[in-house]
Structure 1
Amino acid sequence: MAPTFPASRLSKITLAAASVALCLVLRYFHRRKGTYAALFGDPAKLAQRVKSREEDYDFDEYDVVIVGGGTAGCVLASRISEDPNIRVLLLEAGSSSIQNPFAIIPASYSKLMRSKHDWNLQTVSQANAGSKARYWPRAKLLGGCTCMNAMIFHIGAPEDYDEWVLLQKGQEGASQWAFKEFDKYIRKFEKFTPSSEYPLVDASLRGKSGPVHTGYGYASYGTKQFIEACANAGIPAVPDLNTHKGTMGVSKVMTYITPQGRRCTAEYAYLTAEVLARPNLKVITNAHVTRILFDKSGATPRAVGVEFTQKEGETFRVKARKEVVVSAGAVHSPHILMLSGVGPADHLKEHGIPVVADLPGVGSHLMDHVVIDLNIMDKSKSGIGHLKGETVLDGLKLMRELFTYKLTGRGALTTNIAETIAFVRSTDPKLFPPDQYPADHIDDQTSGPGAPDIELFFSPMGYLKHGQGKLRPGHYFSLHGVLLRPTSTGTIRLKSRNPEDPPEIDPKYLSTQNDVATLVRAARLLTRILHTEPLASMVDPAGAEDAALDHTFHDLDDAAVADAIRRKAETLYHPACTARMAPKEDGGVVDPFLRVHGIPNLRVVDASVFPTIVSGHTAAPVLAVAEKAAELIVAAVRSAH
């Protein structure tokens, strides 16, 4: 007699089988062609082991050493090494993502969360956000968070970059960050694939020959309903949110996806087999950088090398003849700088770290986008919740989707989850009539009259806590509100001088009333859209009986909404501004050429250099910043020869 299993166990077996099939099929169909001459280099051949007496040896020498192979680091390594006369070393704490199935298939990125490929970071308890810590996903892979995000291609508002210029207060080189100058770097990285489903997109305004593919993945039934409901609620539908015309309105999300349906990570785009075959580029993975090395004998300190460890505990050093570039992200870049003696002097002394440069701005002015999620039961049953494989039937549907994806590069597995996006202003009198929303409750924090401070988006599934929580089996969709221009700022600080200890992260979420008031307006607008046709017809009234859902959110008064917002607030994965491009006296860490104040051959290149956070998603601005930084670094190295 054949064995029988309870439904819950059978579901797990089916899901496990689907996961195994997913891994095997994706590994086969997405194998990267070519060789990897530079990748996974033996550190003993590319660097020097640290011995008992440092002065007994000379360690390996490079022109440029890049710390961190994430979004920016991949760009820098590829672009700088285009000059065959510049010897480049890229150090990455994680491994390659190029054949990792969860960094290939667009919909599967949450599988990387809390895995060995995630730094598994937590904030400190947030006093103004439910008095609970928050989980911060940060990818530990080549390609960084382009492997583990919602793939949203969005550049922010043009006014954001003009604001960056103003925040430089006349420093030399400030004007190069104006949108009219910076836009060319956005177009430089992009390779847009037009879609017959979205014929109104003006391809002449999109990049055509860059390494980063952009285009469109799956669109669920609810995506189209959300766009129409937004339009009926007063948010105009627009074909493209990424042009000089601005970013206001609602549209289907453009994503980082290849024509074959593959997630286009920074590693996939920039560290191709051809790039890795360059004799002047080396990449060491599983290299945990512990500190930057300095020569302090001159009038100003000079970065001369980098120290790193490997899994086995061995310590290595490499020498940088010209430049050290820190591109470890808005959490780890300030962490590494402080471990190296660059940061607030008092804080460094508390941990017994010798001060190389007293820069109070390192790790300060931390900004992040806060999101709230509203989960709704879906009467249309048109969502993609089956991709979670939580039931036997869902597991079977998942396997069907897998083979559709394998054969065609299409289907629900090409969704980015956050399928549709809208940008509005909290002070828009059409959306927030002054008689219902007194203007004195909100201070305008936008970068200009055409820039937003609220983002809304739609997902064709429900989820809690980044997909780590559970809803009852069923059909759901979710609506989300994002605070784009927070006035709350936090810090990254050392827990200890031990590089193995994670930094202390305190974003100080919702510590100003203005942030809460803005999110209250976002929540009110979301519930209004929810009850606007045709989206309203998707709402299953039975969901009102489930306390885990948000069907009755619109019945709450403002105080109750504010309380719910504090409990629901989560990161949208956009930490920034912890090594700001601004004058030193204003808390800046780098100048407009991304050089650390007082250490001219040490640069920072990632989201930490944003003078203030952009009113949108951060991956595209980081790619463009890195494209520009590569030009600056190549010019500096050439002039130094």
Structure 2
Amino acid sequence: MSRKYGDFAMHSKTPAQGAYDYVIVGAGSAGCVLANRISEDPGVSVLLLEAGGADWNPWIHVPVGYFKTMHNPATDWCYLTDPDEGIKGRQLQWPRGKVLGGSSSLNGLLYIRGQREDYDDWAAAGNVGWGYDSVLPYFKKSECQERGADEYHGADGPLHVSDLRLRREIAERFIEAAKVAGIPENADVNGATQEGVGYFQQTSYKGFRCSTAKAFLRPALKRHNLTLIKHAHCQRLLLEGKRVVGVEYRQGGQTNRVKANHEVLLSSGAIGSPQILQCSGIGDPGHLKKVGVECLHELAGVGENLQDHLQVRLVFKTRCRTLNDEVRHPLMKLAVGTQYVLTRTGPLTLAASQVCVFTRSREGLERPDIQFHMQPLSSDKPAEGVHPFSAFTASVCQLRPTSRGSIRIISPDAGVYPSIRPNYLSTEEDCRVAVDAIKVARRIATQAPLDEVITDEYVPGPDYQSDEQLLDAARQFSQTIYHPAGTCKMGHDPLAVVDDRLRVHGLEGLRVVDASIMPVIVSGNTNAPTIMIAEKAADMIKASRGASRGAA
């Protein structure tokens, strides 16, 4: 059964009238960056449309608040995948931010850039200007790294990147065990090399989340040339021939249209951007015809090339205390809350994971192909609370999966959720890496000093031993790590949707700027790379405007 987005009763401003130089669709991780950077030019007018509401919910700003905001329809689109054969026909929840800041207001705050080779491979595929040396300045531009500036980091940007404040015995033991297992210690996985084990860095400042709404949008809203319309759900793009000239959106049950003098910038994410394109008649003609949409511009790759990081969760019971013991009872929760209110420290400042590991699933690989997210707690589902025993979680995901899925509309109505087909574990390579990754996790767990405190492997458990059994465990005990990407891929092949300046192939006046343009998903968490993409896009947009002025 299809689901529809709810009608919004609240209006942030009166509907946009007339025309703006730039219309940005989506005030998420990328859209907030674009709104800030493009409106730096006082000579242009910018309209930012956001389908969600304001980021007023206090849990958005408390780092551990993702327990309250994910799967909450007030802040999360609450997407659900189609049943997926690769994970035993299960359907997975795919949280995506329905609020200013988008998923940067909901995510686990983890700041990871990926590997140098990720971007060099993008460039090698013909995407000029996307090699590591070209994108590094944009990572640095956005960053306010609390350690200070150096060759790899910036300290003057709006996005605060901080070290974790919380240290727990089980996390320290995990780090030492990984080192004994042959994984080098790495205090900065966003620096010279990614490989190794260490603590995550997170997008927070003085105990509060630093979303793109807070870092980029809030300061920019003081400018007279930037207009924000909340609760404005884009229905389709407006085309005149092969030029996109504006946007149609709904707000509070009313349909409105707004024109863009220069460009429409689509920043609605790896699900929303291809959905809007398809609802606008841009995509595969055969599929559009099936759902009753007239094809106005053929682009077979719209919605294809979907990639995501699938994590296999291992849970180990321990004889030493973990965060399960600290937050399980009401009085403990009260103490934790009091600590946070008074000092902005303690468990409420936690990112989604504490310890990261980037390593190889097997010998002979040129670079790390798996990533661990270690949490000093465990649960079946975050909303259900922690387990009633001491335990920690070691989730491991394949960094560069070869499985490919799709986002396809099932109705011409942009209010109807699209079909999400990840096609997890659909290739032999992905299956092999999943099995090997579990073996790496178990190898770490058997090393001192971690093995001294582990009493039992709770998930998947000792009954899973053979490669066939381990693959079955991967299919049964896996979850998305919330990194959809690639559905409007950058490139010049038949499935490419945008060129290396993020302009939609064959159309004028339209760019896509978000994680959907990744040709291949980056080797790690996707929020920092999405912010980088928007920083780079903003400069390209400014350059195009400068060139048009010169021509005039």
Residues 62, 626 of structure 1: alpha-carbon distance in 2 compared, 3 angstrom cutoff: same
Structure 1: distance between partners of 2:351 and 2:315: 17
Distance 1:93 1:344 in 2: 26
* Max Rg structure: 1
Residue of structure 1 in register with 2:5 after alignment: none
Q: Does 1:396 align with 2:343?
A: no
> Which secondary structure does the structure 1 equivalent of 2:508 belong to?
strand
The 3-state SS of whatever aligns with 2:430 is helix
Cα distance in 2 for residues equivalent to 1:596 and 1:269: 28
Q: Which residue of 2 aligns with 1:283?
A: 228
Q: RMSD of aligned C-alpha atoms? A: 1.8
Following the alignment from structure 1 to structure 2, what is the Cα–Cα distance between the partners of residues 40 and 385?
44
Per the alignment, residue 357 of structure 2 pairs with: 422
Q: Look up the match of 1:455.
A: 371
In structure 2, C-alpha distance between the alignment counterparts of 1:233 and 1:364, rounded to whole Å: 39
Once the two structures are TM-superposed, the CA of residue 428 in structure 1 deviates from its matched residue by 2.4
State yes or no: 1:220 paired with 2:168. yes
Amino acid at match of 2:376: P
Partner of 2:163, secondary structure, is: coil
Structural mapping, 1:433-582, within 5 Å: 449=366, 451-465=367-381, 467-468=382-383, 472-539=387-454, 541=455, 543=456, 549-552=459-462, 556-582=465-491
Seen in structure 2, the aligned counterparts of structure 1 residues 599 and 385 have a Cα distance that, compared at 3 Å, is farther
- Equivalent residues in 2 for 1:316-465, closer than 5 Å: 316-384=256-324, 386-387=326-327, 389=328, 394-428=329-363, 449=366, 451-465=367-381
Gaps of 5+ in 2: 1-9
Match of 1:236 in 2: 184
From the two aligned structures, give the one with the greater helix fraction. 1
- The Cα offsets for residues 182-212 of structure 1, whole Å up to 9 and x where unpaired, read as 1000000000113xxxxxx985532110000
- Residue 404 of structure 1 contacts residue 410 of structure 1 at CA under 8 Å; is this kept in 2? yes
What is the SS of the residue equivalent to 2:253?
coil
Indicate if the aligned counterparts of 2:308 and 2:484 stay in contact, CA closer than 8 A: yes
The offset of 1:114, in angstroms, is 1.7
Q: How many residues align?
A: 538
In the alignment, is the contact (CA less than 8 A) between 2:22 and 2:263 conserved in 1?
yes
Which structure has greater strand proportion?
2
> Per the alignment, in what secondary structure is the counterpart of residue 71 of structure 1?
coil
Q: How many angstroms apart in 2 are the aligned matches of 1:594 and 1:211?
A: 24
Q: Which residue of 2 aligns with 1:304?
A: 245
Q: In 2, Cα distance between the equivalents of 1:457 and 1:630?
A: 32
- From 264, 267, 277, the counterpart of 2:213: 267
1:623 to 526, 531, 550: 531
Deviation at 1:538, TM superposition (A): 2.4
Aligned match of 1:313: 253
Q: Secondary structure at the match of 1:403?
A: helix
Q: Distance in 2 between matches of 1:221 and 1:305?
A: 55
Give the letter aligned to residue 123 of structure 2.
V
Structure 1 pair 385–266 and aligned structure 2 pair: CA distance change class (3 A) = farther
- Please state if 1:176 is matched with 2:129: yes
Structure 2 CA distance, aligned partners of 1:504 and 1:43? 33
Q: Does 1:254 align with 2:201?
A: yes
Task: Among all aligned residue pairs of Structure 1 and Structure 2, give the percentage whose two residues are the same amino acid.
Answer: 37
CA offset digits 1:526-557 (Å, max 9, x no partner): 01111111111221x2x46xxx644526x611
The answer to which of 133-142 and 74-83 deviates more is 133-142
Give the whole-Å Cα distance in 2 for the aligned partners of 1:372 and 1:127. Answer: 16
Q: Point out the more displaced range, 511-520 or 202-211.
A: 202-211
Query: Deviations for 1:141-180, whole angstroms, at most 9, x for unmatched residues?
Result: 1111111111111100001000001222xxxxx3311101
Distance 2:168 2:349 in 1: 11
Deviations 1:556-613 (A, max 9, x none): 111111101011121110010000001142x100000000000131000000000111
Q: One-letter code of the match for 1:257? A: S
Q: Is the 8 A contact 2:136 2:152 kept in 1?
A: no
Cα separation, 2, equivalents of 1:189 and 1:202: 12
| Structure 2: distance between partners of 1:230 and 1:257 | 27
Any idea what the Cα deviations from partners look like across 1:215-264, whole Å, max 9, x if unmatched?
11223222211111100000000111012x22111111011011x11111
- Partner of 1:603 in structure 2? 511
Asked if the contact 2:362–2:436 (Cα under 8 Å) also holds between the matched residues in 1, the reply is: no
2:154 is aligned to 207
Q: For residues 203 and 227 of structure 1, do their structure 2 counterparts lie closer, same or farther at Cα, with a shift above 3 Å needed? A: farther
Deviations 1:609-634 (A, max 9, x none): 00111111111110001000011112
Q: What SS does the aligned partner of 1:186 have? A: helix
Is 2:551 the partner of 1:635? no
Q: CA deviation at 1:84?
A: 0.4
Partners of 2:53 and 2:146 lie apart in 1 by 29
2:86 counterpart SS class: coil
- Residues 223 and 458 in structure 1, CA contact (< 8 A), matched pair in contact too: yes
Query: What residue number does 2:138 align with?
Result: 185
Give the Cα separation in 2 of the matches to 1:640 and 1:384.
59
Identify if the C-alpha distance between structure 1 residues 631 and 224 changes in structure 2 by more than 3 Å, giving closer, same or farther. same
| Matches of 1:337 and 1:385, distance apart in 2 | 48
Q: TM-score, normalised by structure 1?
A: 0.81
Q: 1:371 to 1:362 in 2, by over 3 A?
A: same
Distance 2:32 2:119 in 1: 23
Structure 1 letter corresponding to 2:243: R
Query: In the superposition, relative to structure 1, how do residues 339 and 128 fare at CA in structure 2: closer, same or farther (>3 Å)?
Result: same
Partners in 2 of 1:549 and 1:248 — Cα distance? 26
Q: 1:377 to 1:350 in 2, by over 3 A?
A: same
Measured against aligned partners, the alpha-carbon deviations of 1:23-66 in whole angstroms (never above 9, x if no partner) come to xxxxxxxxxxxxxxxx974133x23xxxxxxxxxxxx1100000
Letter in 2 for 1:268: K
- Give a deviation string over 1:371-399, Cα, whole Å, max 9, x none: 01111222111325644x5xxxx222122
